[in-house]
Copies of this chain bind each other. A is one copy, B any other.
Amino acid sequence: MLTRDLTTPALLVDADVLDANLAAMAAALPGDRLRPHVKAHKCSALAARQAAAGHRGFTCATIREAEGMAAAGLGGDLLVANEVVDARRLGRLVEAGHRVTLAVDSPATVVAAAAGGVREVLVDVNIGLPRCGVPAEEAGRLADEARAAGLDVRGVMGYEGHAVLLEDRRQRIEEVKKCVALLAAAARDVGGEVISGGGTGTYDLNTVATEIQAGSYALMDTAYAKLGLPFGQALTVLATVISVNLGGGWAVADCGLKALGMDHGNPALADGSSVWFCSDEHLVFSPPEGAALPAVGDVVQVVPAHVDPTVAYHEHLHVVRGDEVVDRWDVDLRGW
């Protein structure tokens, strides 16, 4: 099958770029040094490629992601790096023989983990991002509570999400230093062997974490592209030009707000065209200076600004080499 035979909008994954990204990360963080985050791609087939690259444990953001990974035979060591108040579905995975570790950051989530049948937890520590995580100085006490509830505390996790997209590398380094100091202190208080954290933007800067939770590196987006990381843009959205306005100098492609995560702003076009705006089912753009308008029926490649909420709109990832579709992977970890 050729890309021109796909119904658009359609997610394309460049097989060679993906392979190069997986290889580059596996070289930098081999084996268990990386715990790939599946929330970025929500695709167990892609996770299987990460497993083949040597990474045995995975990070999940939702219960559904953990269930899907287990169903795909990748439930050997799943970390749900998020708080839940009802852990019963995760407990059923544990009962079925999968290894599931859950983040906890409060007495209520400790109680939920134990009541739901989860046996292993990480204490989630707030290391600067105003989101989840217990204050670092309270981490040890929460670990004691978890152990008293019968849970095995494997260690700590913390996410420097406010630092991962800082474009200035020196600034990123400085911010990460502060974060990991907090994480290291909490790790001493909590005990255990695991210090989990980091992301694509800090995979080589977070030297305290025993495992890095990067996910975006596999497919990438325009936000991470600004950081000059050694990962290429593997993901694009194929779109068809459905209307051209010669007088106005614009064209319209069939890739709108329901095909693109928009929280980081407009996507880019691979050919350098200017994006004017997106609406529900449309992307309006004009060609680069000096270039001709496309024709109705032409296809364009749209580069998302944020990979995670883009993939979550789609049913499939089409793996391509040039114009050829070599595989189709289900985005099987969507929903909740």
Contacts and interface: CB of A to CB of B under 8 A. Distances in A.
Interface of A: 7-10, 39, 61-63, 82-85, 105-106, 108-109, 126, 130-133, 135, 161, 240-245, 247-248, 250, 252, 254, 257-258, 261-263, 276, 278-282, 284, 295-297, 306, 308-309, 312-315, 334-336
B242 A263 contact: no
Contacts of A62: 281
A243 B125 CA distance: 12
B61 A280 contact: yes
A54 B191 CA distance: 66
A9 B64 CA distance: 12
Most chain B C-beta atoms within 10 Å of own C-beta, residue among A257, A280, A313: A280
Interface SS, A side? loop
Q: How many copies does the complex hold?
A: 2
Given A85-B296, A258-B308, 11 more contacts: A7-B63, A8-B336, A83-B296, A85-B241, A85-B297, A131-B284, A132-B243, A132-B252, A257-B308, A258-B261, A258-B312
Given A257-B308, A262-B261, A132 B280 contact: no
A281 B247 contact: no
Contacts of A84: 242, 254
A313 B83 CA distance: 21
A132 B85 contact: no
